Structure 1
Amino acid sequence: MVSPNPVQAPPHIHALLTRLHQESTVQEEALGPYLTTTPAAFDALMRDKFIALDEDKCRFTYQLALATGARNIAEVGTSFGVSTIYLALAVGRNVARLGGEGRVIATEKESNKAARARAHWAEAGDELVARWIELREGDLLETLRGDVPLLDMVLIDIWAPVALPALKLLEPRMREGAVVLVDNSISSAERYKELLAHLRSPTGGYTNLTLPYSKGLEMSVWHGAATEG
């Protein structure tokens, strides 16, 4: 049975997303067991690789953003901007029905990936996608120190060593009930060991659930930093 697609968008955006997910799948299959490399080798290997968040995870993220009314989202690791399209579509719908303002703060260090992402967003169109995205290019541990609205959701799909520092930068700007999603929380559990320990700590301020998608998808809800006593 084919799972229904919750994404509401015109045909050209659906066609774009289908093409990009197919390209990502081909690239990932060609890489083989890339997660077994050393951290330094992995970083170098992935610098120019087109690996997007899995399509079913993207659809779930979109649906979750609609369910929670998310209007301000931070994407920690944008790469070629595929998952960003889903986030922007959801933010646009939420602003239309709830009012106010909204944006997706996208982060990308590699200039070639940032350029490709902008091209994909332009192809999707300004009205439904590009207008909702603010791309911060450069070291995210610096770019996320700037103006950040009160966040409803954070999507983390980034090189593991910077994941926890990035989240700690964003926590003061996360509303109570904000959702944090971490990709590959099963397959990369060792790489994300410090991040997952922080999320799952009894005093960390989160409740957590590992969703049974391929390679895992961690869903954590922020309740505010726990206090002593």
Structure 2
Amino acid sequence: MSLPPNPVVAPPHVLSLLDRLHDESIKQESVLGSYLSSADGFGDLMRDKFIALDKDKCHFVYQLARAIDARNIVEVGTSFGVSTIYLALALGSNLERSGGKGKVIATEKESTKAAKALQHWREAGDELVTRHIDLREGNLLETLKESVPTLDLLLIDIWAPVALPALKLLEPRMRPGAVVIVDNSISSASRYADLLAHLRSPTNGYINLTLPYSNGLEMSIKF
């Protein structure tokens, strides 16, 4: 049985780096095991843990960013910067194809994670990845208050209590047709209850689909 195609257009060293980082994430996740489903102390538990967005989800988000020609993206919860590499590669390809400007705004509160993310981006390459990223370190509810362009895509993969306030902060900057992706929308449905209720309320102007990836991946389109 042949492996499914990898949609990511990148040099071999970048693909190898991504494979290595996903392997590290899987190992960390297997060690944590059942603790990932515990609500008690979840934020403290994950403060220094290397858990990246699953590879198949990263491939989907990359394809989505390419499909909608995303130029301005916000990642709510960058962590160690793995999914950010995919977003930056997609954005770079979009800009190369038809010109213009754009950025991936990456948010991370923990300074140690931000430093590790920068290390990974530089390993991928400044021209390919780092130059397309605007890293905003600190409380994202402060760092995203200013200088946010009209957004095409928003990826939310963060400690749940921050998720809805972040979305509400960014909604005025989202263009019609902008896409919101939320990870773990099935396994963490109780944690994300207020966020999912907001996205699914008919009064808030989204159409929604829960994609059948492991633990769920919510895709919402703003109109």
- Could you say which TM-score interval applies, normalised by the shorter chain? over 0.9
Q: Structure 2: which 5+ residue stretches go unaligned?
A: none
Residue 32 of structure 1 aligns to a residue whose secondary structure is helix
Residue 24 of structure 1 aligns to a residue whose secondary structure is helix
Matched, 1:2 2:11: no
Matched, 1:120 2:141: no
Question: What is the aligned partner in structure 1 of residue 139 from structure 2?
Answer: 139
Q: Structure 2: which amino acid aligns with 1:25?
A: I
Question: What is the aligned partner in structure 2 of residue 210 from structure 1?
Answer: 210
Task: Using the TM superposition, give the Cα deviation of residue 36 of structure 1 relative to its aligned residue in structure 2, in angstroms.
Answer: 3.3
Q: Structure 1: which 5+ residue stretches go unaligned?
A: 224-229
Equivalence map 1:18-97=2 (5 Å): 18-39=19-40, 41-97=41-97
Structure 1 CA distance for aligned equivalents of residues 56 and 219 of structure 2: 15
Once the two structures are superposed, residues 114-169 of structure 1 have per-residue CA deviations (whole angstroms, 9 ceiling, x without a partner) of: 00000000000011100000000000111110210110000000000010000001
Structure 2 CA distance for aligned equivalents of residues 168 and 192 of structure 1: 14
Q: Structure 2: which amino acid aligns with 1:33?
A: S
Structure 2 CA distance for aligned equivalents of residues 190 and 34 of structure 1: 16
Question: What is the aligned partner in structure 1 of residue 187 from structure 2?
Answer: 187
Question: What is the aligned partner in structure 2 of residue 161 from structure 1?
Answer: 161
Structure 1 consecutive aligned stretches of length 4 or more whose deviation exceeds 3 Å:
none
- Please report the TM-score for the alignment, with normalisation by the length of structure 2: 0.98
Question: What is the aligned partner in structure 2 of residue 102 from structure 1?
Answer: 102
Q: Give the aligned CA root-mean-square deviation in angstroms.
A: 0.7
Structure 2 CA distance for aligned equivalents of residues 120 and 21 of structure 1: 12
Once the two structures are superposed, residues 8-50 of structure 1 have per-residue CA deviations (whole angstroms, 9 ceiling, x without a partner) of: 00000001000000000000010011233234x1111101000
Question: What is the aligned partner in structure 1 of residue 148 from structure 2?
Answer: 148
- Please report the TM-score for the alignment, with normalisation by the length of structure 1: 0.96
Question: What is the aligned partner in structure 1 of residue 15 from structure 2?
Answer: 14
Structure 1 CA distance for aligned equivalents of residues 154 and 216 of structure 2: 16
Q: Percent identity?
A: 73
Q: Structure 1: which amino acid aligns with 2:202?
A: P
Structure 2 CA distance for aligned equivalents of residues 28 and 123 of structure 1: 23
Task: Using the TM superposition, give the Cα deviation of residue 97 of structure 1 relative to its aligned residue in structure 2, in angstroms.
Answer: 1.2
Structure 1 CA distance for aligned equivalents of residues 125 and 179 of structure 2: 27
